[in-house]
Amino acid sequence: MAMTIHQMKIFWAVSQAKSYTKASKMLGLAQPSLSQQISKLEDELGSKLFDRVAGKIQLTEAGKFLYSKAEMILANIEETEEGLKEFSQKTRGVIKVGMLSSVARNILPPSVKIFSKVYPNIEINVLEVAPAEAIDLLYARQLNVAVVAVDSIAASNLSFFTKEVFSDPYVLATPKNLNLNSIKNINNLDKKKESILRSTILFEFGSQHKKRIDAWFEKNIGDVKVLAHTRSYEVALSLVEAGLGVVVLPALTAVVGAGRVYDVNLYETKIMHRRLVSLTPNQFANIEPTKTFIRSLNEAGQELTLPKINQIPPFLKNSSNGN
């Protein structure tokens, strides 16, 4: 029996993804090749590692045993490889980071500025990915660090080393010509502006987030129609900027970068703040240069400033919302 590191990585990825298709995407391998490697590994070990139950892949008892060992072995190998890079004069280190573009454009420039003072020769490889994909890439060892909102991921994924980066309030974004500062009742608006206020833009990621926003609109605006669904804060803000509807989103997303903001009004809501955190596999958390990059994210987050946010509109003040 001669199990290879390559086979172990494939086994670990399939165990995490619980899907050959998803694991093949995580590893960048063709699915037939991945399946062949698992079959070959099972033959060499003389034990079945996976069962299919109701169309889903589950670990056998042998698979569970191997998974616990593989996780420790791979972590030790990766920790050793990262540590050895500090002694190499020929290797130029790379930090692989995943985050949404709306987060990257604000948090990344000051973070890199801080980080580069300590590690001027380290290359930053940025992947603009949604939170779920970032988690998959962390599991696949294709990212060193991901920056995500806590409410956009399952609690089980917080088993990674977690560090606070930034917290911003959820705000209601309206077109510039829809000023709500003195509106005590929605019915006080003319028909056109009322129609805009009741036209909402919703996001397709983060089920917890979506439920919270849906509940907020139902409680505070009442009868609304969905103007659009999107996975992009930029698209949503562009629709608002064009005067087509309104959206509830984190305040930092309205910042384009370097003090530039979308031309919209932002209003306080009573929705719980978004918490941005950095996630990294535990074995990387205290190894340089990842350790310094995590610290740089935290320091940069403390220096971020939010755009102008108007007080909660009068017609919302009487709403007590714990969402």
Same domain, 175 and 240: yes
| pTM for this entry | 0.76
Question: CA–CA separation, 1 vs 104, rounded Å?
Answer: 46
CA atoms within 13 A on the CB side of 28: 4
Question: CA–CA separation, 308 vs 161, rounded Å?
Answer: 33
How confident is residue 320, by pLDDT bands cut at 50, 70 and 90? Answer: very low
Are 300 and 208 in contact by the 8 Å Cβ rule? The answer is: no
CATH classification at residue 285: 3.40.190.10
Give me Rg for the CA atoms of the chain.
Answer: 23
**Residue 322 counted as domain residue:** no
Domain range for 215 is: 170-272+306-317
Which of 53-62, 64-73, 111-120, 275-284 ranks highest by mean pLDDT?
111-120
CA atoms within 13 A on the CB side of 218: 7
Which tens digit of pLDDT belongs to each residue from 81-126? 766 666 665 545 789 999 998 899 999 999 999 999 999 989 999 9
Same domain, 163 and 174: no
Rounded (10°) angle between helices 61-85 and 5-17: 120
Same domain, 122 and 247: no
Residue 300 confidence (pLDDT) above 70: yes
Q: Which ranges of the chain does DSSP label H, i.e. alpha helix? A: 5-17, 20-27, 31-45, 61-85, 101-118, 131-139, 191-197, 207-220, 233-241, 290-303, 314-317
pLDDT attached to residue 233: 92
Which tens digit of pLDDT belongs to each residue from 124-154? 999 999 888 888 888 777 899 999 998 777 6
Domain count within the chain: 3
**Residue 266 counted as domain residue:** yes
Residue 321 confidence (pLDDT) above 50: no
Question: CA–CA separation, 160 vs 214, rounded Å?
Answer: 29
